[in-house]
Amino acid sequence: MENESLNLPNYNIPEDMRDVVAVTTLDRLYNWGRRSSLWPLTFGLACCAIEMIAAQMARYDMARFGMEVMRPTPRQADMILISGTVTKKMLPAIIRLYNQMPEPKYVVAMGACASGGGPFKEGYNVVAGIDKFLPVDVYIPGCPPTPQALIAGLIKLQEKIDKQSLKKARWYQKGKEDPNYVPMPILGPDLIDVRRSEEFKKAAAVKEGA
Amino acid sequence: MATAIETQTVDLAARFPGKVSAESRPGYSGFVVEKESLLEVAKAVRDEFGYDLLAALTGVDYIEQNKMEVVYHLHKTTGGPKLIFRTQADRVDPIEIPSVTPIWAGAEYQEREAYDLLGIRFTGHPDLRRILMWEGFEGHPLRKDWKEAFYEEEIKPYKSRWPEGKHTYAEFKNPFRDNLKFPPNFDPEKYEPEGEKDLYSSLERFSIKSEGGLKTDHVVVNLGPHHPSTHGVLRVAVTLEGETVMGLKPVMGYLHRNHEKIGERNTFLQIMPYTDRLDYFNSMSNNFGYAVTIERLMNIPVAERAEYIRVIMAELSRIQNHLVFIGMLINDLGSMFTPAFYAFEERELILDIFEAVAGSRMMCNYFRFGGVARDVPEEQMQKIKDLVFDRLPFKIDEMERLLNQNEVLVGRLKGIHVLNAEDAVHYSVTGPVLRAAGVPYDLRRADPYSIYDRFDFDVALRHNGDMYDNYLIRFDEMRQSLRILEQALKQIPGGPINSQKPNYQVKVPAGEAYGRVEAPKGELGYYVVSTGKQNPYRYHVRPPSFVNLTALEKMCVGKKIQDFVALLAMLDIVMGELDR
Amino acid sequence: MYGLGILKGLSVTWKRFWDTYIDDISWALTGKKRYRTEEGIKHRSSKNTRGIFTVQYPEERLITPEEFRFVPFLVYEEKDGKKEPRCTACGICSKVCPPQCIWIVRSSDPVTGKPVSTPAEFYIDMDICMNCGFCAEYCPFDAIKMDHDIDIASYGRSVYNLEKLLKPVSYYAEIRPLNYNAEEEERRAKEAAKAARTAAPATPAA
């Protein structure tokens, strides 16, 4: 099996066995399997989603990376591509989708909007970056990133997966509370992040006093 | 340079003495209708003067005069000049203005938008709820005294960027609470969101009742905002009885990116790249509309070569939009991939040209006031010619061979969701959907802008108004676009590509303008009020997707749910433009 | 006949299927490589392409047109082994930037405290930048340009500082040769005119 990412580097396999056997560690095999079949969630938000579709099409063909199976349900997806502007109104839906995804799960912030608010950051209905709520693995700048830039970003994600280890993977740690569970924000007078409710209360109290 | 004053051909003031008064402001002259007699005047405007199409309706907040104004832009579907009138109310809550929905049903969503963003209550509106923001949102964002949570400065350019511009994140610099109003003793843990009771009560109210037959339960289904076939993040709440749609309400705003609020802060030039992101399939058409509007306001000519380049780019954009439309329509009907693959192949070739000429595949930002950003190199011109003369006609034929007679496709589309001409006009539907219903209304012909009057082309027209006609008319339009392209490519002259000197400080005189172009999805209008400053006082976009969607409920109720998905694809909505 | 339309459609896909192989074979017969060569990519982005036209990024890349813009970078010139940015901290780019993602700190003379025309700090928040290219278009000193490098995804927020933004003139000349040459030409013409002007007053006096 001629696969650089699977074979252990510097391990001499006899010449006649080279294409038949792979010598590797469990971690490498595990990561190789995961990184070669990353199924994204069918999830488009804005302009970047069109480039994501273009990347799925014949010219860029994400199937070459095992990423062509777009899953419509979060239960079967490995990664969520936040492809576009995250609005406050949409945010609860995104977080619900994320919480429904099984581990291991990855978040890719595609484009400027998802990474840090983008050109619409100053808007009243725009969240300044999805990383305020979800743990983002890879940030892909660009407005929108071209399909090639998207693929380059996804290769970065694969590299990240390669470095993970079974022993340390958070989803096999027993007894721990899921660190990635994100509480649902509330759509009140404005978006309310419940993790910061103390601050809200304090601010309301100050206003009452004044 | 003086602004070209929008001419008014109908003298409303003479027809309605005491009820309508003529008025003129810098760069504008028009009529103000007393709000008490608005409905009477509107009815006469439609029935006597023949202005049957309500193109745009929007509000303007004149905070200094303490007035809230609603502006109506009207057109005849037979072509000709527009009619603008406005009505005013004192800027004291509740601001009430009669709704014109009984006269033009197309006002429904636009009035809801004005209510949501400006807080104008339209009395007599059948279903006045927030449309873009969620229920329970505090305030009306487009009012001039409303500030965002992360508000930085009143206008761009911000003073904090130079010469002492240390990088900061706005959200840390400006504690968001200062600009937000919370209810007294606000406690997020005990706070009960308003939820969506308005939506569901409205859905209940507008659902039809089943007649006779078995009595079955109604099921409320929410399609979206994350749904593979809603073309983005549209959500539709549907009441179902079996498979029949009994009631339907679209819920939007999931991609509301505050285009207008940001636009009012931008300088005139800075808005240009933002328009790219309206209908992100057709940034060229969006640029076109905005450039036409501001050029009208500035009263400047456009360089001859640039006019041709603009037309070439806009028509190429139309072709790729329609190709993708067909691919996505078939995708929604259940035939995944093949047609979409074929469509995207051609689209990629067109995007290559955009990339080489404008610099970006999708967000072209190519138009400037008075011309375009840079010239089309000879090599790219040749590539456009190759595509237009040697490839696209055959590929369009191939697409037709692939799909047109497909029995499944014909069965799914023929005779389904008929929209007749009268309803289409009543609901302010524009673009291919209107033309498929048999109304030959194409802005390139009805109110020619740029140099469209120089080309020989037909207005694509179909008569049945069903989905199959809607599908076929896209092919007709692509062929007509190719005809325009062929002529434009043969006639294009040399010369400069901009009549103005490149300048980032654009001077726009006071005045107001409503510019419109025939975007691939319908009439794309920009309404800009300038006070002579560097940024617009009011900037409003009339997106075709948004207004076309008004007819959705009318078309779907009583029909089958599976056809609804096809209809959404048929209306060719794009969320960037719908929600802005 | 029922089903004829479907058959007709299938004939199109059938033809498409073979087109790829016919192209592959005809290229192989003429001894050219259809994949992983520039010629091959050019062919696949032209009107003559048939069948599948996948560009196998990252092994092969689409030919980037000169005008392509991704994110901005600052041009510096190498003088005596020191990086000298062309930027004069005039602030036009930060004024024209639509999403206001450019932050500039102008340097000041350490002795007099007067502003000096060079940036002390320069930040571009790539997570706000909308790639519109206005900064490059309106820069009077050709100091800020749009990059072609798309492989800039990272594991964290991308706020670029001066160090990360600076790229040599030679890089700019390499990615945008036509623009670079035109600008150099213009500059030479301007300098020649200036020289002529300074020389001109001398002649009447003489």
Question: DSSP states of A78-107 as a string?
Answer: SEEEEESPPBTTTHHHHHHHHHHSPSS-EE
Domain B259-579, CATH among 3.40.50.920, 1.10.645.10, 1.10.132.50, 3.40.710.10: 1.10.645.10
* C-alpha distances out from residue A156 to A108, A137, B249, Å: 10, 9, 42
- Find the range with the poorest average confidence among A3-7, B68-72, C86-90: A3-7
What does the alpha-carbon distance between residue A200 and residue B536 come to, in Å, rounded to a whole number?
35
pLDDT beyond 80 at A179: no
Percent of chain C with pLDDT over 70: 97
What does the alpha-carbon distance between residue B381 and residue B353 come to, in Å, rounded to a whole number?
9
Question: DSSP states of B522-575 as a string?
Answer: EEEEEEEEE-SSSS-SEEEEE-HHHHHGGGHHHHHTTSBHHHHHHHHHHTT--H
- pTM score, whole prediction: 0.91
pLDDT confidence of B526, banded at 50, 70, 90? Answer: very high
The domain segmentation of chain B, as residue ranges, is 2-123, 203-247, 259-579
pLDDT beyond 60 at A210: no
Q: Helix B304-333 vs helix B467-491: angle between axes, to the nearest 10 degrees?
A: 150
| Residue from A139, A151, A160 whose CB has the most chain C CBs within 10 Å, to mutate | A139
Chain B residues 497-516 within an 8 A CB cutoff of chain C = 502, 504
The closest alpha carbon to A150, from C153, C44, B440, belongs to C153
pLDDT tens, residue by residue, C144-193: 999 888 888 888 888 888 888 888 888 988 888 888 898 889 889 999 99
**Residue tagged 């048929």 (tokens):** B570
pLDDT beyond 80 at C99: yes
User: Mean pLDDT, chain B, as a whole number?
Assistant: 86
pLDDT score for B507: 86
Contacts of B402 in chain C (CB under 8 A): 8-9, 12-13
pLDDT score for B486: 92
What does the alpha-carbon distance between residue B446 and residue B80 come to, in Å, rounded to a whole number?
6
pLDDT tens, residue by residue, B542-552: 999 899 888 88
Alpha helices in chain C (DSSP H): 4-29, 38-44, 92-96, 134-138, 162-165, 169-175, 177-199, 202-205
Option in B163, B401, B502 nearest C104 (CB) = B163
What does the alpha-carbon distance between residue B254 and residue B578 come to, in Å, rounded to a whole number?
10
Residue B391: count of CB within 10 angstroms of its CB: 16
pLDDT score for B136: 81
Contact A93 B254 (CB under 8 A): yes
pLDDT tens, residue by residue, A10-45: 777 777 877 777 777 888 888 888 888 888 888 888
Angle at B227 between CA B224 and CA B228, to 5 degrees: 155
Angle at B365 between CA B362 and CA B366, to 5 degrees: 105
Q: What are phi and psi of B31, to 5 degrees?
A: -125, 145
Going B259 to B262 to B265 to B267, the CA torsion angle's sign is negative
pLDDT score for A116: 87
pLDDT beyond 50 at B3: no
What does the alpha-carbon distance between residue B504 and residue B369 come to, in Å, rounded to a whole number?
10
pLDDT confidence of B554, banded at 50, 70, 90? Answer: confident
pLDDT confidence of C113, banded at 50, 70, 90? Answer: confident
pLDDT score for A209: 56
pLDDT beyond 50 at B2: no
pLDDT score for B475: 92
Q: When comparing pLDDT for B208 and A62, which is higher? A: A62
What does the alpha-carbon distance between residue B328 and residue B107 come to, in Å, rounded to a whole number?
29
Locate A50 and state its tokens.
């069109």
pLDDT score for A1: 41
Contact predicate B107/B99, CB 8 Å = yes
As to burial, measured by CB atoms within 10 angstroms (0-12 exposed, 13-18 middle, 19+ buried), residue B408 is middle
Percent of chain B with pLDDT over 70: 96
pLDDT tens, residue by residue, B281-317: 889 999 999 999 999 888 888 999 999 999 999 999 9
pLDDT confidence of B5, banded at 50, 70, 90? Answer: very low
Q: What is the largest CA-CA distance in chain C?
A: 99
pLDDT beyond 60 at A8: yes
Contact predicate B121/B140, CB 8 Å = no
What does the alpha-carbon distance between residue B238 and residue C120 come to, in Å, rounded to a whole number?
58
pLDDT score for B92: 84
Domain B2-123, CATH among 3.30.460.80, 3.30.830.10, 3.40.50.300, 3.40.640.10: 3.30.460.80
pLDDT score for C203: 54
pLDDT beyond 60 at A73: yes
Residue type, B421: A
User: Mean pLDDT, chain C, as a whole number?
Assistant: 86
DSSP label of B498: B
Contact A51 B262 (CB under 8 A): no
Q: Helix B338-358 vs helix A47-56: angle between axes, to the nearest 10 degrees?
A: 120
pLDDT beyond 80 at A181: no
pLDDT score for B4: 45
Contact B575 A46 (CB under 8 A): yes
Q: In sequence order, what are the beta bridge partners of C132?
A: none
pLDDT tens, residue by residue, A105-142: 889 999 888 888 888 888 888 888 888 888 899 999 88
CB-based contact, B136 to chain A, within 8 Å: yes
Angle at C189 between CA C188 and CA C194, to 5 degrees: 95
Angle at C177 between CA C171 and CA C179, to 5 degrees: 110
- CB–CB contacts below 8 A, A to B: 160
The closest alpha carbon to B485, from B319, B313, B312, B354, belongs to B312
Contact partners, residue B484, CB within 8 Å, separation at least 6? B311, B315, B452, B455, B457
What does the alpha-carbon distance between residue B370 and residue B497 come to, in Å, rounded to a whole number?
8
| Residue from B176, B194, B277, B328 whose CB has the most chain A CBs within 10 Å, to mutate | B277
pLDDT score for B477: 92
pLDDT score for B152: 81
What does the alpha-carbon distance between residue B494 and residue B384 come to, in Å, rounded to a whole number?
16
CB-based contact, A84 to chain C, within 8 Å: no
Locate C118 and state its tokens.
């060079």
Q: When comparing pLDDT for A6 and B483, which is higher? A: B483
Nearest CA-CA distance, residue C53 and chain A, Å: 6
B251 alpha carbon, distance to own chain's centre? 17
Average pLDDT on A81-91 reads 89
Contacts of B403 in chain C (CB under 8 A): 9
Average pLDDT on C11-33 reads 87
Nearest CA-CA distance, residue C68 and chain A, Å: 11
Contact partners, residue C141, CB within 8 Å, separation at least 6? C86, C87, C88, C90
DSSP label of B281: T
Contacts of A89 in chain B (CB under 8 A): 133-134, 253-254, 256
Nearest CA-CA distance, residue C74 and chain B, Å: 17
Domain C74-197 has CATH 3.30.9.10: no
Contact predicate C146/C133, CB 8 Å = yes
pLDDT score for C206: 45
Option in A47, A87, A189 nearest B181 (CB) = A189
- What torsion do the CA atoms of C109, C110, C113, C117 make, to the nearest 10 degrees? 20
**Region for residue B159 given its phi and psi (left: phi exceeds 0; alpha: psi -120 to 50; beta: otherwise):** alpha
pLDDT beyond 70 at B174: no
The closest alpha carbon to B233, from A135, A89, C130, belongs to A89
**Same fold for the domain at B2-123 and the one at B259-579?**
no
What does the alpha-carbon distance between residue C133 and residue C72 come to, in Å, rounded to a whole number?
8
ipTM value of the model?
0.89
Q: When comparing pLDDT for A203 and B198, which is higher? A: B198
pLDDT score for B481: 92
Nearest CA-CA distance, residue A113 and chain B, Å: 10
Percent of chain C with pLDDT over 90: 4
What does the alpha-carbon distance between residue B328 and residue B349 come to, in Å, rounded to a whole number?
18
- CB–CB contacts below 8 A, A to C: 99
Q: When comparing pLDDT for B170 and A175, which is higher? A: B170
pLDDT confidence of B318, banded at 50, 70, 90? Answer: very high
Angle at B118 between CA B114 and CA B119, to 5 degrees: 90
pLDDT tens, residue by residue, B92-124: 878 888 999 888 888 889 999 999 898 899 988
CB-based contact, B138 to chain A, within 8 Å: yes
As to burial, measured by CB atoms within 10 angstroms (0-12 exposed, 13-18 middle, 19+ buried), residue B1 is exposed
pLDDT score for C201: 63
pLDDT score for B1: 37
β B244-251/C72-79 pair status = unpaired
pLDDT score for B487: 92
Residue type, B506: V
The domain segmentation of chain C, as residue ranges, is 1-63, 74-197
Contact partners, residue B305, CB within 8 Å, separation at least 6? B371, B375, B492, B493, B494, B495, B496, B497
Locate C194 and state its tokens.
């200036």
